[in-house]
Structure 1
């Protein structure tokens, strides 16, 4: 992908179940916009999200007092608007390189799994379905606006799962 995007960097570190990268799309003194992509090492899945208007925000912490923390204004989860072309270009690049890879829609970031422990989350954090496959920079909270289709490519994922018999073998 480095051949196609001049401002791309790897972002994988530690005990994560994926490799990932960041493509910087916009960068100003006040904020930045980045495309993040993740390819799971657990299953043949990948996902893409665009974090728009990442900026420092002052928060009040109960122990540390006032401090600055990263905040995200929007998460773009499918090819829409001004980032449609770059989203599709990364999507195509990943599906060309990894045979049979499946896109995991953002909706799986919204469903939490009870009693699932993974080494890359603290014990107090609940893991989402997507969190079992990816360690992401972002995590959804109510202050972030989700833009796009959270079920993008879910029909293809369902179609692929219909090709699995009860014994777990592909037809």
Structure 2
């Protein structure tokens, strides 16, 4: 097993990583989001990039062909793991989502392990990461006591599921590129993603622009930080293992 190291961490902006080839991703994001513009929700809806974004999301949501293609992908995953719950994420966001419930114990607290995966509507990209949650019961309701812990590469209980999802994604969507979680947490100066409540502070992440509303990069995470970077930066070597809380 690879050694997990406790080291300091700083979240980066996209322009602070010249070692990575971001041009393709940045151009995709620029097509659908106005960058460097601060305004309220109503006004931003009138801008051409946001109009393109809304149309693209609507086209995918209401496309029977696209929906069936994603449903078929989820069904194939179910054949690999017939004893696990696999369901789609139906939130309004810039990509199809899916979750495999790997483990769940329920008592005075609910402890769960879920593998989340997303395929973007905006470009040919996808991403995968694990989410550990703990909820406590106060006698009436379950509530979150701690922030989730994110697993960013195939590791421990997530390894088989992570590798299978990535393998099947390559078969069903061969033109799609894997966005490493570490890369997805990079912020873009002046980027506001309209579904993620980031309009006030701006500087949203690649993951929020392409996949999911929530900024998972602000949580503690564990795994190989360089996993999946082979396409984006051939000079980066894998096996840079980490386990740390992010610094804001």
User: Are the counterparts in 1 of residues 96 and 120 from structure 2 also a CA contact under 8 Å?
Assistant: yes
Aligned to 1:36: 116
CA-to-aligned-CA distance 1:117-159 (integer Å, 9 cap, x gap): 2221211353112221111556233xx4311112211122335
Which range moved further: 101-110 or 118-127? 118-127
User: Are the counterparts in 2 of residues 77 and 150 from structure 1 also a CA contact under 8 Å?
Assistant: yes
Q: CA offset at residue 78 of structure 1?
A: 0.7
* Structure number with larger C-alpha Rg: 2
Q: Kindly indicate which of the two structures has a greater share of residues assigned to helix.
A: 2
TM-score by length of 2: 0.53
Aligned to 1:92: 167
User: Are the counterparts in 1 of residues 98 and 117 from structure 2 also a CA contact under 8 Å?
Assistant: yes
User: Are the counterparts in 1 of residues 115 and 158 from structure 2 also a CA contact under 8 Å?
Assistant: no
The alpha-carbon distance between structure 1 residues 136 and 27, as it changes in their structure 2 partners (threshold 3 A), is: farther
Cα-Cα RMSD: 2.3
TM-score by length of 1: 0.75
Q: Kindly indicate which of the two structures has a greater share of residues assigned to strand.
A: 1
Instruction: Give 2:95's match in structure 1, choosing from 7, 14, 18.
Output: 18
2:210 is the alignment partner of 1:133: yes
CA distance in 2, matches of 1:78, 1:34: 13
Aligned to 1:2: 78
Which range moved further: 68-77 or 102-111? 68-77
1:37 is paired with a residue of what secondary structure?
A: strand
